[in-house]
Amino acid sequence: MRLTRRGLLASAAGVAVGGAAVGVGLESAGGGAPPADPVPFGPQRAGVPARQHAWTATLARDDDGNPIAPRFDRLLFYDLQGVPAPAHARALEAVPGIRGSLELGAGLDWRETRTGFVGTGLPARHQDVGGIPPGNPVPTSSPLFMGFKSGLLKNQATEDYVTIADGPFAGGTTMQVSYMRLRLDSWYGSLDESGRVARMYSPETTPEQVKHFTTDAESEPNLINQAIHRYGVIGHSQTSARARRAGKPLIIRRDFNTVDYGEAGLRFVSVQRSIKDFVTTRSAMNASHATVENPSITDTINNGINEFILVLRRANYILPTRAERSYPLLAGRRFI
């Protein structure tokens, strides 16, 4: 398969290519008997971050200082054939230094390409797909299908925070990739703007407030008991914000919409120091205690945006440092 030099994201069981990152699948990180001889490589390219997940400094900013996400994304997934050898590692490592199209071998077989986008106007242009009702309900000003912003400065962890501090993958991080199908018929067909705001943020939040959000979503996590008992509705941001430590989020969201398979979807990509941090955040989003305290709230009904998403795929990865990105568990590998 011929690719452009957009970068690689590799795993031992499946390789996701995109965003100049190479990672190893957690489920197979210990598989196979690697060769015992050292694997020397050339020096790392000057001027690029040692951490593959260090993107923020390269992004433009809006007037409030929020990073502006790339408008188009691509994830390429590969399967590893056999046990990698030093020659495979050298061939894979040679890819960021080649300009133009190239032939990617290195013992990898292409499995799937996943595409997507995020940015003002793009969802509106792509809303003639399954999962979105007729009538063009997605606002032309929206960067995402559900009509709201994502990834504000203070509702994201920092790259320093999500970096693994010690151990064999020190300097790296973990990555979680999910594919979610969006069910927006009732989102736009049954809910007015206030109802959508209540479920995205909190029932205490007004549409007018949302227009003025700058660096964080003021979603009133401290008023969740009031939301449960007075309103019978809780917000997605309201529940997710309870997973913060000392007021700071645990994960960096790098998600984007997709119309792959002819359906409105979300590629939810996040990086975090430990997959446990993702699980903590996702568990907070479920708000299981609310279903006990008020029967009008279920796992999906009146419970944030849970009713409007269906998770079809999810995978976890280790994202090593740039120096360790090509088959990082190969015995004796080192850079000189």
- Overall number of domains in the chain: 1
Helix (H, G, I), strand (E, B) or coil at 68: coil
Distances from the Cα of 331 to the Cα of 34, 85, 323, 327, angstroms: 6, 10, 14, 10
Range of the domain at 154: 2-335
**pLDDT per residue over 275-321, tens digit each?**
999 999 999 999 999 999 999 999 999 999 999 999 999 999 999 99
Mean pLDDT along residues 58-74: 94
Detail the DSSP E strand segments found in the chain.
Answer: 2-3, 15-17, 24-25, 39-41, 72-80, 102-103, 108-117, 173-182, 251-253, 256-258, 265-272, 309-319, 333-335
Residue 216, pLDDT above cutoff 80? yes
Model-level pTM? Answer: 0.86
